[in-house]
């Protein structure tokens, strides 16, 4: 999942970036409205976390332009402007959720997960063979026992599960795992997939490599369509 965080407070932005990346999200950061608008025009995001008080271009104008383009990117407004009128304006312009500063990080992360599930159409828990992936707690379990997976491995597994039995390119994995300034090569993706494949050996779930094309997650035989 790739997130654009548009926030001009460096302390808040740095803290959110670290927390979300630790949770396995790819995060790009913009500290003004013009850069946020440019990022939205040139990249595809699964979620926009938007501060209303951005310099150069107000957050509400960024949101208005986004919705004028008929883009359905989920938007979580995060702002110190907590008056009722500001909330109403943001929601009327097409925001999906609203949080006022100061906020609890755990609550923001929960709202991010909820918006992610809503936009992707996936359920909170995905099952494949003996493997269970809980999107709320962001953990993978086999027969109820938690798998020891890194944030990158969790991210790759979530992407492959949501596209089970469909090809996922390395470029797609990089785009959804990495934010600006994070360099992850195709070779690194191969290493993460190799480690993940070994950890899934007991589940009956296989990650198939298509040379030069990418990967797909093959469901156990008894779960495949005839």
pLDDT digits (tens, 9 = 90+) for 175-189: 877 766 566 788 888
Could you tell me which residue, 78 or 80, shows the higher pLDDT?
A: 78
For domain 2-120, give the CATH superfamily: Response regulator (3.40.50.2300)
**pLDDT class of 32 with cuts at 50, 70, 90:** very high
Q: What is the mean pLDDT of the chain?
A: 86
Residue 168's pLDDT is 92
Tell me the mean pLDDT in the region 28-55.
94
**d(Cα 105, Cα 15) in Å, to the nearest integer?**
9
Task: Indicate if the pLDDT at residue 92 is higher than 80.
Answer: yes
Instruction: Give span(s): CATH 3.40.50.2300, the chain.
Output: 2-120
What integer is the mean pLDDT of 188-193? 90
Query: Which residue ranges does the chain devote to CATH 1.10.10.10?
Result: 125-223
144/130 Cα distance (integer angstroms): 9
Contact between 177 and 193 (Cβ < 8 Å): no
Look at residue 44 and give its three-state secondary structure: coil
Mean pLDDT along residues 36-41? 96
pLDDT at 76 over 90: yes
* Class of domain 125-223 as given by CATH: mainly alpha
pLDDT single digits (tens) 115-161:
877 765 555 688 888 888 887 677 899 888 889 998 889 889 988 98
What would the two tokens of residue 110 be?
Answer: 């929960």
Percent over 90 (pLDDT), the chain: 38
Q: Average pLDDT for residues 214-222, to the nearest whole number?
A: 79
Look up residue 174 and give its two tokens: 């990089």
């Amino acid at each position: 999942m790739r997130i654009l965080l548009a926030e001009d407070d460096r302390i808040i932005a740095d803290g959110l970036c670290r927390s979300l990346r630790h949770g396995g999200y790819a995060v790009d950061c913009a500290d003004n409205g013009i850069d946020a608008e440019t990022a939205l025009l040139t990249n595809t995001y699964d979620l926009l976390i938007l501060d209303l008080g951005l310099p150069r271009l107000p957050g509400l104008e960024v949101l208005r332009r986004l919705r004028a383009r008929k883009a359905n990117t989920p938007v979580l407004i995060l702002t110190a402007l907590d008056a009722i009128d500001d909330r109403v304006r943001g929601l009327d312009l097409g925001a999906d959720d609203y949080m006022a500063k100061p906020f609890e990080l755990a609550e923001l992360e929960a709202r991010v997960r909820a918006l992610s599930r809503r936009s992707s159409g996936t359920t909170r828990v995905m099952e494949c063979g003996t493997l269970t992936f809980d999107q709320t707690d962001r953990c993978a379990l086999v027969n109820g026992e938690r798998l020891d997976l890194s944030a990158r491995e969790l991210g790759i597994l979530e992407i492959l599960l949501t596209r089970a039995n469909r090809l996922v390119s390395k470029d797609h994995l990089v785009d959804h795992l990495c934010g600006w300034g994070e360099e992850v090569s195709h070779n690194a993706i191969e290493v993460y997939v190799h480690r993940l494949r070994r950890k899934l050996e007991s589940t009956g779930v296989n990650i198939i490599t298509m040379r030069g094309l990418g990967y797909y997650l093959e469901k156990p035989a008894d779960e495949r369509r005839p």
